[in-house]
A and B are shown apart, each in its own frame.
Chain A
Amino acid sequence: MSVRHISLRSDNMKPILEVKNMTMDFGGLRAIDSVDLSIEKGQIVALIGPNGAGKTTFFNCITGIYTPTSGDIYISPNGESDKQERINGLKPNIVTRKGLARTFQNIRLFTSMTVLENVMIGCHAVTKVGIMGAIFRGIKTKTEERFIVEKSYSILEKIGLAKYVDELAVNLPYGAQRRLEIARALATNPFLLLLDEPAAGMNPQETMELDELILRIRNTEGISILLIEHDMKLVMSLSEKIYVVDYGRKIAEGTPEEIRHNSVVIKAYLGEEIGEECDA
Chain B
Amino acid sequence: MDFEYFTQLFFGGLTRGSIYALIALGYTMVYGIIELINFAHGEIYMIGAFTGLIISSVLTMMGMPTLAVIILAGMAAIIYSCAYGYTMEKIAYKPLRNAPRLSALISAIGMSLFLQNYVLLAQTSDFLPFPSLVPEFKFWEPYSHILTTPELMILSTTVFVMILLTFLIKFTKIGKAMRATSQDKIMASLLGINVDQVISATFVVGSATAAIGGILIASHIGQINFYMGFIAGIKAFVAAVLGGIGSIPGAVLGSFVLGWTESFFTGYISSDYEDVFAFIFLVVILIFRPSGILGRSQTQKV
Physical interaction between A and B:
yes
Judging by beta carbons under 8 Å apart, are B173 and A122 in contact? no
Q: A93-B194, A93-B195, A110-B184 are in contact. Are A135 and B179 (CB under 8 A)?
A: no
Interface size counted on chain A using CB atoms at 8 A: 34
Stretch of B129-137, B149-157, B185-193, B215-223 on the interface side: B185-193
B230 to chain A, nearest CB (A): 31
Q: Give the chain B neighbours of A131 by CB distance below 8 A.
A: 174, 197, 201
Question: A120-135 interface mask toward B, CB cutoff 8 Å, 1 = contact, 0 = none?
Answer: 1110111101010011
Judging by beta carbons under 8 Å apart, are A124 and B173 in contact? yes
Q: A110-B179, A113-B179, A131-B174 are in contact. Are A124 and B187 (CB under 8 A)?
A: no
Q: Which of B168, B183, B186 contacts A112 (CB 8 A)?
A: B183
- Give A91 to B192 CA distance when docked, in angstroms: 9
Stretch of A7-15, A31-39, A96-104, A222-230 on the interface side: A96-104
Q: Give the chain B neighbours of A121 by CB distance below 8 A.
A: 176-177, 180, 188, 191, 193
| A178 close to chain B: CB less than 8 A | no
Interface size class of B (residues with CB under 8 A): 20 to 34
Judging by beta carbons under 8 Å apart, are A126 and B180 in contact? no
| A108 close to chain B: CB less than 8 A | yes
- Give A110 to B182 CA distance when docked, in angstroms: 10
Q: Give the chain B neighbours of A97 by CB distance below 8 A.
A: 192
- Give A104 to B47 CA distance when docked, in angstroms: 44
Judging by beta carbons under 8 Å apart, are B173 and A110 in contact? no
- Give A126 to B194 CA distance when docked, in angstroms: 11
- Give A65 to B184 CA distance when docked, in angstroms: 13
Q: A93-B193, A97-B192 are in contact. Are A65 and B186 (CB under 8 A)?
A: yes
- Give A145 to B193 CA distance when docked, in angstroms: 16
B300 to chain A, nearest CB (A): 13
A155 to chain B, nearest CB (A): 13
- Give A241 to B87 CA distance when docked, in angstroms: 50
- How many A-B pairs with Cβ below 8 Å? 76
B86 to chain A, nearest CB (A): 12
Q: Give the chain A neighbours of B184 by CB distance below 8 A.
A: 108, 110
Q: Which of B174, B179, B187 contacts A108 (CB 8 A)?
A: B187
| A92 close to chain B: CB less than 8 A | yes
A200 to chain B, nearest CB (A): 15
| B172 close to chain A: CB less than 8 A | yes
| A63 close to chain B: CB less than 8 A | yes
- Give A127 to B191 CA distance when docked, in angstroms: 12
Most A CB within 10 A of own CB, among B172, B190, B194, B201: B190
| A111 close to chain B: CB less than 8 A | yes
Residues of A145-178 at the interface with B, using a CB-CB cut-off of 8 Å, are 145
Q: A121-B180, A131-B197, A135-B168 are in contact. Are A91 and B189 (CB under 8 A)?
A: yes
| A179 close to chain B: CB less than 8 A | no
Judging by beta carbons under 8 Å apart, are A124 and B190 in contact? no
Judging by beta carbons under 8 Å apart, are A135 and B192 in contact? no
A139 to chain B, nearest CB (A): 15
- Give A120 to B172 CA distance when docked, in angstroms: 11
| A184 close to chain B: CB less than 8 A | yes
| A246 close to chain B: CB less than 8 A | no
Judging by beta carbons under 8 Å apart, are A124 and B189 in contact? no
Q: Give the chain B neighbours of A135 by CB distance below 8 A.
A: 168, 172, 174
Q: A110-B180, A131-B174, A134-B173 are in contact. Are A125 and B193 (CB under 8 A)?
A: yes
| A188 close to chain B: CB less than 8 A | yes
| A18 close to chain B: CB less than 8 A | no
Q: Give the chain B neighbours of A126 by CB distance below 8 A.
A: 192
Judging by beta carbons under 8 Å apart, are B172 and A96 in contact? no
* A contact residues vs B (CB 8 Å cutoff): 63-65, 91-93, 96-97, 101-102, 104, 108, 110-113, 117, 120-122, 124-127, 129, 131, 134-135, 137, 145, 184-185, 187-188
* B contact residues vs A (CB 8 Å cutoff): 168, 172-177, 179-180, 183-184, 186-195, 197, 201
30 inter-chain pairs at a CB distance below 8 angstroms, sorted by A residue, are A65-B186, A65-B190, A92-B189, A93-B189, A93-B191, A93-B194, A96-B191, A102-B190, A108-B184, A108-B187, A113-B176, A113-B179, A117-B176, A121-B177, A121-B188, A122-B191, A124-B173, A124-B176, A124-B177, A125-B191, A125-B193, A126-B192, A127-B173, A129-B173, A131-B174, A131-B197, A134-B173, A134-B175, A135-B172, A184-B191
Q: 5 closest A-B pairs (Cβ-Cβ)?
A: A125-B192, A92-B189, A96-B192, A134-B172, A134-B173
Q: A110-B184, A113-B176 are in contact. List 19 more A-B contacts (CB 8 A).
A: A65-B186, A93-B190, A93-B191, A93-B192, A97-B192, A102-B190, A110-B180, A120-B176, A121-B176, A121-B177, A122-B192, A124-B176, A124-B191, A124-B193, A134-B172, A135-B172, A137-B172, A145-B173, A188-B192
